[in-house]
Each structure stands twice: as structure tokens, then as C-alpha cells.
Copies of this chain bind each other. A is one copy, B any other.
Amino acid sequence: MHNVRVPAQTWSIAELAAEYDVTLRTIRFYEDRGLLTPERRGTVRVYHPRDRVRLGLILRGKRLGFSLDEIATIVDMYDAEPGEEGQLVYLLDQITTRRADLEQRRRDIEETLRELNEVEARCRADLQALRDRQPSRGRQTAKAVGRRADS
């Protein structure tokens, strides 16, 4: 089985906080919400690789705009034990839901990016026109008409 027995590194709360650029308060808050479950040595928290990975997932979830509750269900999917059939079916259902959600977001993002490109093009054109025409004073151009969102 080639079991290499890597020392299984651990981290303090401050180390994790520094690495992921969050505050101690935040990490403790996530624990309070059941998203992290560090070991306790006496009163002190000791974070294992598992916790570290989960923190990464949590923060990615946050970047995606999920609520902590949603993140909880997602993260728990990642390291769920196989369990019984009902559990597995439920998990598959959750996956379907999440995927639909993410694909909607992706469509939104791509649409927004396309529109940003248009706005940028208009912007550059205006800038160019402005510089061609009047190197010092600005003036309203006729091309500016009809660009507002009132079509």
C-alpha cells in the first residue's frame, strides 16, 4: 500500500489566518457555524490538513457569493462518507442543484463580460474622438445619442 506516513502537519489559528488572509474572528466564526472542527489541545485550536482544505473551499464559496449555509452543504459534500443509499441519492440531488446554480452564474458572468467589452469599446471610441477633435476642450458628440438603457 506504500503508506509513506507523512508527518501530517498542523497549523495554529494565526497561521491559517495569515495564509488565507482572514482574521482570527472569521475562522472562529466559521467553527461556530459548524464549518470547521479543529482539534483541541487543552483549550487551544489545532488545525489539520482537512481543516485547511475546508477553509479554502469556504473562501472560494464566499467569492462565488454563496451564503455560509449553502457553503456548509457544499463543503460537506466534498468529504461525505459513502453512507446509505438514501444519503447518496440526496447527495446526487444536491449536486444537480448546485451545478444548475453554478451554470446560471457562469452564463450571467459571460453575458456581463460581453457587455463590458461593448462598454469598453464605446468608451475607447469616445476617448479617441475627444482627442482627435479637440485636444484641449471637451465637446458632446452626436454619436453619444441613443446609448442609454432606454431602448
Is A112 touching B149 in the complex (CB atoms < 8 A)?
A: no
Taken together, the copies of this chain in the complex come to 2
Q: How large is the interface on A (under 10, 10 to 19, 20 to 34, 35 or more residues)?
A: 35 or more
Is B150 touching A119 in the complex (CB atoms < 8 A)?
A: no
Interface string of A76-111 (1 = CB under 8 A from B): 011101111100110110010011001111101111
Is B85 touching A147 in the complex (CB atoms < 8 A)?
A: no
* A24 in the interface (beta carbon within 8 A): no
Binding site for B on A (CB under 8 A): 48-50, 53-54, 57, 60, 63-66, 74, 77-79, 81-85, 88-89, 91-92, 95, 98-99, 102-106, 108-113, 115-116, 119-120, 123-124, 126-127, 130-131, 138, 140-141, 144, 147-151
